[in-house]
Amino acid sequence: MSLLSASKVTVLDRGRVILDAVDISLEAGEIVTLVGPNGSGKTTLVRVLVGARRPDHGSVTRTPGLRIGYVPQRVSLDPSMPMTVERFLALPRQHGRQRVAAALAEAGLPDVAQQSLVSLSGGQLQRVLLARALLVDPQVLVLDEATQGLDQTGSAAFYQRIESVRESLQCAVLMVSHELHVVMSASDRVVCLNGHVCCHGAPDVVASRPEYRALFGTGTGGALALYRHDHDHVHDHVHEHVHDHIHEHAEQSGTPESGSSAP
């Protein structure tokens, strides 16, 4: 049974179709990425999946008591308000110091608990937001454009940390991103969304599909080398193949091109 799944989910907004009969599922231990142009319904689908919005048609099934951790794009910080990382992680409810320390260590920031939030770099702040999501011991970790504003090196490092978290917790990870040059290779499955599911599957399969290329062009092909991510385990619902663990950083050899939107 999937941890989280949607069947024929349709969402309307003042008569306009935002999502049209979308199917998606998340299994324990896998990383699934939603890609699509602006206005394709990615954020709406995430809201439906986590229960923040009801679909107009279709259904969402969640494992009873499902724990979901959420990492947003960014948080707005008031530079005049002094707040330590530890205090921030205690909102809206208290956690013991040991639990906070463990979450920060899992996120790759073991020594910042007493630092001011406003003193952190962009990459450090995103890891603090990751630590906050980890405090719920998530079965599903949702990343909504979580590396927006970071450079390629920062993005690749963050996604490596996400892989480590996934391996440690065996949680499912749902990522939403425009950063095709990193995300495509940091995923077990990619779902290409443009109001409906255009195509889905393993990253290399999706990148070769005409529906995907109609949206993003062909520039992502060489960019897959920026962050190579392979596994030594098998998911039955994807192509049954076994990979060695490989982590390699290389120059991005292509830049995603703008493509026309699919009908």
Q: In b/e form, how buried is each residue of 240-250, taking b as 16+ CB within 10 angstroms?
A: eeeeeeeeeee
Map residue 11 onto helix, strand or coil: strand
Reported pTM: 0.76
Tens digit of each residue's pLDDT (9 = 90 or more) over 30-79: 999 998 888 899 999 999 999 999 999 999 999 999 999 998 877 777 77
- pLDDT score, position 78: 74
Q: Which CATH architecture has domain 1-67+139-263?
A: 3-Layer(aba) Sandwich (3.40)
Tens digit of each residue's pLDDT (9 = 90 or more) over 176-219: 977 676 666 678 999 999 999 998 888 888 888 888 888 877 65
Give counts: helices (H), strands (E), the chain: 9, 11
Tens digit of each residue's pLDDT (9 = 90 or more) over 142-155: 998 888 777 778 88
- Where along the chain do its domains lie? 1-67+139-263, 75-137
Residue 241, pLDDT above cutoff 60: no
Q: In b/e form, how buried is each residue of 172-210, taking b as 16+ CB within 10 angstroms?
A: bbbbbbbbbbbbbbbbbbbbbbbbbbbbbbbbeebbebe
The amino acid at residue 74 is R
Residue 122, pLDDT above cutoff 50: yes
H or E stretch covering 154: helix 152-169
d(CA 112, CA 73): 21
Residue 95, pLDDT above cutoff 60: yes
